[in-house]
Amino acid sequence: MRIADAGRHRLQRRPRDLAEPDGALGGAGLQTGRQRVSRPGKRAADGGAYRPALTDACRPTIGWLNRLAFPGGTFDCCLRPRRLEWRDNNSAMREPEMSDISVHHRACHLCEAICGLTIQTEGERILSIKGDPLDSFSRGHICPKAVALQDIQNDPDRLRHPMRRCGDEWQAISWEEAYELVAERLAEIRERHGSNAVAIYQGNPSVHNYGLTTHSNYFLGLLKTRNRFSATSVDQLPHHLTSHLMYGHGLLLPVPDIDHTDFMLILGGNPLASNGSIMTVPDVEKRLKAIRARGGKLVVVDPRRSETAAIADQHLFVRPGQDAALLFGLLNTLFEEGLTRASELPLDGIEEVRTAIAAFSAEAMSARCGVPAEQIRQLARDFAAADRAVCYGRMGVSTQAFGTLCQWLVQLINLVTGNLDRVGGALCTEPAVDLVETTKGGHFDAWRSRVSQLPEYGGELPVAALAEEMLEPGEGQVRALITVAGNPVLSTPNGRKLEQALDGLEFMLSVDFYINETTRYADVILPPTAPLEHDHYDATFNLLAVRNVTRFNLPVLPKPEGALHDWEIFIGLAEAYAGRVGVELKPTMPPQQMMDLALRHGPYGDKSERKLSLAALEDYPHGLDLGPLKPNLARRLKTPNKRIQATPALMLDDLQRFAAQPQAGADELLLIGRRHVRSNNSWMHNYQRLVKGKPRHQLLMHPTDMAARALQDGQRVRVHSRVGVVEVEALASEEMMPGVVSLPHGWGHARPGVQLDIARQQPGASCNDLTDERQLDVSGNAALNGVTVQVSAA
């Protein structure tokens, strides 16, 4: 069948045959997925085969799961080729009676918090978007971004057709024409220059959209390139590498048990702005305040008194890039003062840790991190004295020169105080789609980048190497790029150098629905359907949630005529490319079927009492609570000897690099980023309701630093770094630690050719025009925080 027809088919709903153990299946009870207000609706008719026979042989062959951990993995399913069946719930919505008001329930996919939404529509018009009070996980909470989902839907700048560049103009073309053009150009470039001449970059939204997760590799895997990159290496790579080294799997990520802890120590995280990250925690402000309400304590360590620090019991300023020094001081104090607690977890190497960090006392570390030694010691004592405590380090401590050391130390502090794998401490989830059990554990440094010899992790190279791989001549030079839901010009270090590299490419394809700062360099742009036009299952963030939760929601709006979901686009590309190069494609199936298989194979699937399947989840449109997190790490360890490795060799080596690091001059300014709840990385600046009011992209600077440079509050300034200069407005802010300036990431929309009308009216400057692609963590993660800059009057 033609892929473009796939939307007309429906998956057959599985008969309701669920056993409900202890009556505990639903946090919100049985509800229909879409309710009519004006008259009771009947479900759309079903059709088509839905449940493939499930055998154990399917388990290791669900390729999209392998892809999530291994970008180089390939789909290989034991199931025979089958018709593509897909339920979009569309034809019912196109019926005349759909002028009635309908109420839909859906998870918001925009950030990691996955809040439940209640969306009212009339026909294809969105009437309202509100928090869903019946969602037991998010409890009615939403942030302003969710309301802007209607602006994405209605945005005149959003692309609705495949586009081809013609000089400085863009021309709408057919899907078939686009596929053929892409296949021809990529095949020809690979033929001339080899597989690695094509690079791939996948942006952050890739993991918020399960159709992208399941199918991008169906096409991208055919290219067999080692030049794969993603937003991981400007974000959370140190988390994955630490878990890979210590627990044997990069996705075995302990998350704070925020609802049961008595003491939460947050470093480099601002959940009130981010809504939680590597910690899926909707309604986080209430959850943090609840710690204090039950007599607990919240401590925030950050070079800025952030929104989260403002509601904490204690806030400590730390010098950017020196969180590792503070963490060493804490761990050293725990050992030195006998504040550790025995753990029953299987563990190797903890005595080597004690020896290795013996020199890193609170007193020795104080000058580096800027926290007085007595405060470090007292923090260690308070943490150890709490019955249940958890240390959590996020973006600010990952995206710095010692990001992996920081994440290793966070794990060790939880471990030696007995708070790892303990209720109220740090726990691993047991999600319904369990990526830890269905994927391999990851690999590190199996190969290196061509130019700077940077190590791969899980099949991806550090994105800091992307520009040089395009610019540096020689065998293996990148000549073509595919971007998927990404904007690396604004998201990765030294964006100007990357622009220069993009300008020299022979061919570029973007799967995206905007002409943004990166995709403006593309030759072809393929836009997928908008978020509310496709269904949603959150495979990634259920893995990181502070409770075990699961949900599946059908689309809210019909797929427009001629539009394609992103997974359909990847199948179209794969068919065209495979046809051109004479490769036989393996069969695939729609994401819904893959998810159904994964659910039924999972811990709550066919072999459990719950017998979860995708069809079963349709009865829980407000989400299904599977219970609180419980200790499970010992049985989930994936290290070869099934024991925690407390002293990975890579970390011991990096101790030497840390000890030898030259210290920044006292008069230098250090740049950090910041987040705002109305922003979402490099996008969502094109919606009036999110950018209205006072601008939020200025440089924040302590008044004493401004005075020292004879600068006035509100003055235009130039910020210089090794790689570039930007001009911005500087605001005096007592929030800032003296010696530190802050510029949020994701801005800088005033580039020529960007077709984001509202964003261009309030463009801001890109902090990644200042960040340095040479400043990296041992993992290859970019050190976006702690960049040395000079600030002067413009």
- Residues in contact with ligand SF4 by the rule CB under 6 A: 108, 110-111, 113-115, 142-143, 145-146, 275, 282
Query: Cβ 142 to ligand SF4, closest distance in Å?
Result: 4
Q: How does strand 480-484 pair with strand 455-457? A: unpaired
Residue 375 contacts residue 404 (beta carbons within 8 Å) = no
Q: The dihedral of CA 211, 74, 61, 238: what is its sign?
A: negative
Q: How does strand 101-107 pair with strand 455-457? A: unpaired
Query: Cβ 726 to ligand SF4, closest distance in Å?
Result: 27
Residue 282: Cβ-neighbour burial (10 angstroms; 0-12, 13-18, 19+): buried
Query: Cβ 108 to ligand SF4, closest distance in Å?
Result: 3
Collapse the DSSP code of 120 into the 3-class scheme (helix H, G, I; strand E, B; otherwise coil) and give the result: strand
What is the gyration radius of the CA atoms in the chain, in angstroms? 25
CA distances from 32 to 29, 108, 595 (A): 10, 18, 20
Nearer to ligand SF4, 282 or 455 (CB): 282
Nearer to ligand SF4, 137 or 175 (CB): 137
Nearer to ligand SF4, 570 or 683 (CB): 683
Nearer to ligand SF4, 147 or 413 (CB): 147
What phi and psi values does residue 332 have, to the nearest 5 degrees? -60, -45
Nearer to ligand SF4, 285 or 575 (CB): 285
Angle formed at CA 242 by CA 239 and CA 248, multiple of 5 degrees = 120
Q: The dihedral of CA 139, 140, 142, 147: what is its sign?
A: positive
CB half-sphere exposure, 613, CA atoms < 13 A: 20
Nearer to ligand SF4, 111 or 212 (CB): 111
Query: Cβ 89 to ligand SF4, closest distance in Å?
Result: 22
Distance CA 360, CA 366 (A): 10
Nearer to ligand SF4, 275 or 779 (CB): 275
Query: Cβ 605 to ligand SF4, closest distance in Å?
Result: 26
Nearer to ligand SF4, 243 or 548 (CB): 548
Nearer to ligand SF4, 115 or 189 (CB): 115
Nearer to ligand SF4, 113 or 770 (CB): 113
Beta strands in 302-433 (DSSP E): 314-316, 347-348, 389-393, 426-427
Query: Cβ 148 to ligand SF4, closest distance in Å?
Result: 9
Query: Cβ 620 to ligand SF4, closest distance in Å?
Result: 18
Distance CA 618, CA 40 (A): 17
Query: Cβ 533 to ligand SF4, closest distance in Å?
Result: 17
Query: Cβ 112 to ligand SF4, closest distance in Å?
Result: 7
Residue 539 contacts residue 149 (beta carbons within 8 Å) = no
Nearer to ligand SF4, 115 or 670 (CB): 115
What phi and psi values does residue 788 have, to the nearest 5 degrees? -75, 130
CA 132 to chain centre: 23
Nearer to ligand SF4, 214 or 275 (CB): 275
Helix H or strand E encompassing 511: strand 507-511
Query: Cβ 121 to ligand SF4, closest distance in Å?
Result: 18
Query: Cβ 270 to ligand SF4, closest distance in Å?
Result: 13
Name the token pair of 404. 């992996």
Query: Cβ 547 to ligand SF4, closest distance in Å?
Result: 15
Residue 277 contacts residue 398 (beta carbons within 8 Å) = no
Residue 689 contacts residue 148 (beta carbons within 8 Å) = yes
Query: Cβ 135 to ligand SF4, closest distance in Å?
Result: 10
Distance CA 738, CA 303 (A): 9
Nearer to ligand SF4, 138 or 404 (CB): 138
CA distances from 247 to 250, 252, 259, 643 (A): 8, 7, 24, 7
Distance CA 326, CA 737 (A): 16
Nearer to ligand SF4, 290 or 750 (CB): 290
Distance CA 757, CA 749 (A): 10
DSSP per position, 634-687: HHH--STTSSEESS-HHHHHHHHHHHHPPPPPTT-EEEE----TT-BTTBS-S-
Nearer to ligand SF4, 109 or 190 (CB): 109
Query: Cβ 206 to ligand SF4, closest distance in Å?
Result: 16
**Single-letter residue type at 380:** A
Interacting residues of 208 by C-beta distance below 8 A, sequence separation 6+? 109, 110, 111, 538, 540, 541
Nearer to ligand SF4, 65 or 110 (CB): 110
Nearer to ligand SF4, 553 or 721 (CB): 553
Query: Cβ 256 to ligand SF4, closest distance in Å?
Result: 17
Nearer to ligand SF4, 113 or 246 (CB): 113
Query: Cβ 150 to ligand SF4, closest distance in Å?
Result: 13
Query: Cβ 675 to ligand SF4, closest distance in Å?
Result: 12
Distance CA 464, CA 782 (A): 6
Q: What residues does 107 pair with on adjacent strands?
A: 116
Query: Cβ 539 to ligand SF4, closest distance in Å?
Result: 15
Closest CA to 513 of 70, 98, 212, 311: 212
Closest CA to 475 of 508, 507, 451: 451
Distance CA 241, CA 247 (A): 10
| Region for 119 from its dihedrals, namely left if φ exceeds 0, alpha if ψ lies in -120 to 50, beta otherwise | beta
